[in-house]
Structure 1
Amino acid sequence: MDLTDIVADIVAYIAAQEDRGTVASYIPELASVDPAGFGIAIVTADGAMVAGGDADAGFSIQSISKVFALTLALGKAGDQLWERVGREPSGNAFNSIVQLEQERGIPRNPFINAGAIVVSDVNLGGHQPRVAIGEMLRFLRYLTGDDSIAINEAVAASETATGFRNIALANYMRAFGNIHHPVELVLGTYFHQCAIEMNCRQLALAGRFLMLDGRHPDEGRVVSPSRARRINALMLTCGHYDASGDFAFRVGIPGKSGVGGGILAIVPGRASIAVWSPGLNENGNSRLGTLALERLAQRTGWSVFSPAGDSADQ
């Protein structure tokens, strides 16, 4: 199996697609992104990097940041976090408020917006947002070995100015006692976290600890093996909002999408993968990024449901 050839095939396949999806217009700064872009980067367990397309183009990671925020929050609160956030797929849109009323302010999982806002409340930890955001940036720089990772302040300002539904979600949960800090501080943390900018190479590097059972390949253990497996499990069942089941059916790899068009996908023990294409499908996930991962899974045989060692090209 030659990953270089497979990546080249995927880049050519994606370039031929006419339907490139629709960029996220509800965040003004994202509405202006060219939908023609596509990048892919794969880091394998032996440390090799294979990339193609616009793999060096920076993009707003948006909800992919929820994976790293959850990792930090579990480090602070441990399993007590699950008293405030569930672990079940939502079946509703990522910014839905419907279930919060039925379930008394407890979000279904940490990857929908309401759940991620609770996670931001945990990570705020009585500090100002700049402290929590600084911790997130240090974490990502540690995972990647790249100190250039930063926040796109224009995107953060755009989200702050237009994030009325997230403001409603936070206030609603505050009314149930599930947000402990002032709403504006929690949302300041959340909006800036989502506005972190990375490229495919950096994002694939950041996911290595989830590929390696919780270990950083150079710096030692990041989380326990059981915690890494549980984060991957949540990515598989909840990482694509109300299309998570379809993604598991078609791709079979734990993944977390963002409305900036990125997807981080993890093949435990084998690869950390980042794809990016800003045009979204009707569920808010990258249309071409999803197609690329589906083609990658077909060509490699990579799937958490495949027998160990099985590969389509072997």
Structure 2
Amino acid sequence: MLMKYQQILEEIHKEVVPLLGDGKVADYIPELAKVDPGKFGIYLLFLNEEAYYIGDAHEKFSIQSISKVFMLALTVAHLGEKVYERVNVEPSGDPFNSLVQLEYECGIPRNPFINSGALVITDLMISHLNNPKEELLSFIRELVGQEDICYNETIAASEKACGFKNAAMVNLMKSFGNIKNDVEEVLDLYFDFCSIEMNCNELARAFRVFANHGKGVIDAKRYITESQFKRMTAIMQTCGFYDEAGEFAFRVGLPGKSGVGGGIAAILPGEYSIVVWSPGLNPKGNSLAGMKALELFTTKTGTSIF
């Protein structure tokens, strides 16, 4: 039987509308506090170019921690397994900005998708790329296939103005010798990375490369190796949703990454990428309606990695 994906997205939209007022936007970042919590969009993109969407799927938002997937992909493409000498690959089980765990484990972050891990990745990028700020943006633009993907300087400045815990993490890791570059340079670049703005359509196109085992769909260009894809996908599955990764695996069953801007990008390898955006967050920092929408999608379509 032919799956009616557009009808399924419309059903999901109706079912999650009551949740749109229940989540809380990330108001600890002043610029994100201004976002309308009633926004909601989904974009579903298959490897064969079929696409379905609903709601605010073409409105740009701050991707925040979803950028950590692109940061890791670009870094492992350059450095390979050496990346994992500086950052581990275990779920944290603690909040994404925990200092206690970082000190207990001698400045080695649990994984690349918590803040401390992404700060180490940022440090690696500074050490090994000629112009990491421009190279990451070029990398994402190439994955999407368009040039109007940009940083939001206002959001980056807003994050820097209140990024005290991130500053504490960098300095703590510096004291353990796991940050090699200037602390302020690492922080500035990290906040830039988090400020990237994309919409559901653009994120789905970028993540389709990961759904296609690390290579382009149209030109078959390989961005990461099969081995690197396998490891990155495993980290997305086990560490991509802060300390709620187990719940996401249990309810949704797809590898992916969330961000406190309300976005969630996920993939079914070999099949599709799907992105949902709803700015209202649950207490763990994941999109409340977004998680429910993806749970409904994999339930209604019978698709997951399990």
Q: Distance in 2 between matches of 1:13 and 1:140?
A: 33
2:13 aligned with 1:11 = yes
Structure 2, unaligned runs of 5 or more: none
**Structure 1 residue aligned with 2:181:** 181
2:29 aligned with 1:23 = no
Describe the SS at the equivalent of 1:281. Answer: coil
Describe the SS at the equivalent of 2:192. Answer: helix
The 5-angstrom pairing of residues 149-228 of structure 1 reads 149-219=149-219, 220-228=221-229
> Contact 2:20/2:37 (CA < 8 Å) preserved in 1?
no
**1:171-226 deviation digits (Å, cap 9, x = unpaired):** 10001000000011111110000000000000000001111111111231111122
Q: Distance in 2 between matches of 1:204 and 1:41?
A: 7
**Structure 2 residue aligned with 1:235:** 236
**Structure 2 residue aligned with 1:107:** 109
2:301 aligned with 1:304 = no
> Contact 1:77/1:122 (CA < 8 Å) preserved in 2?
no
Describe the SS at the equivalent of 1:36. Answer: coil
- Let me know the Cα RMSD of the aligned residues: 1.2
Describe the SS at the equivalent of 2:266. Answer: strand
Deviation at 1:15, TM superposition (A): 2.0
Describe the SS at the equivalent of 1:16. Answer: helix
> Contact 2:66/2:264 (CA < 8 Å) preserved in 1?
yes
Deviates more, 1:212-221 or 1:100-109: 212-221
**Structure 1 residue aligned with 2:272:** 271
Describe the SS at the equivalent of 1:96. Answer: coil
> Contact 2:20/2:278 (CA < 8 Å) preserved in 1?
no
Deviation at 1:18, TM superposition (A): 5.5
> Contact 2:20/2:38 (CA < 8 Å) preserved in 1?
no
> Contact 1:262/1:276 (CA < 8 Å) preserved in 2?
yes
Q: Distance in 2 between matches of 1:292 and 1:265?
A: 12
**TM-score normalised according to structure 2 size:** 0.97
The one of 80, 86, 100 aligned to 1:78 = 80
> Contact 1:87/1:110 (CA < 8 Å) preserved in 2?
yes
Percent identity over the alignment? 51
Matched AA of 2:64: Q
Q: How many residues align?
A: 303
Q: Distance in 2 between matches of 1:126 and 1:265?
A: 28
**Structure 1 residue aligned with 2:47:** 45
Matched AA of 1:297: T
> Contact 1:45/1:212 (CA < 8 Å) preserved in 2?
yes
> Contact 2:21/2:37 (CA < 8 Å) preserved in 1?
no
**Structure 1 residue aligned with 2:71:** 69
Structure 1, unaligned runs of 5 or more: 306-314
Describe the SS at the equivalent of 2:31. Answer: helix
Q: Distance in 2 between matches of 1:88 and 1:231?
A: 12
**Structure 1 residue aligned with 2:35:** 33
The 5-angstrom pairing of residues 252-263 of structure 1 reads 252-263=253-264
**Structure 1 residue aligned with 2:287:** 286
Deviation at 1:73, TM superposition (A): 1.1
2:91 aligned with 1:89 = yes
Matched AA of 1:181: N
Q: 1:49 to 1:15 in 2, by over 3 A?
A: same
> Contact 1:239/1:256 (CA < 8 Å) preserved in 2?
yes
Deviation at 1:48, TM superposition (A): 1.3
Q: Distance in 1 between matches of 2:105 and 2:123?
A: 19
Q: 1:157 to 1:81 in 2, by over 3 A?
A: same
Matched AA of 2:278: S
Deviation at 1:162, TM superposition (A): 0.8
**Structure 2 residue aligned with 1:309:** none
Q: Distance in 2 between matches of 1:199 and 1:223?
A: 24
**Structure 2 residue aligned with 1:147:** 147
Describe the SS at the equivalent of 1:41. Answer: strand
Deviation at 1:126, TM superposition (A): 6.1
Q: Distance in 2 between matches of 1:288 and 1:160?
A: 28
**TM-score normalised according to structure 1 size:** 0.94
Q: Distance in 2 between matches of 1:186 and 1:76?
A: 19
Deviation at 1:19, TM superposition (A): 4.2
Matched AA of 2:54: G
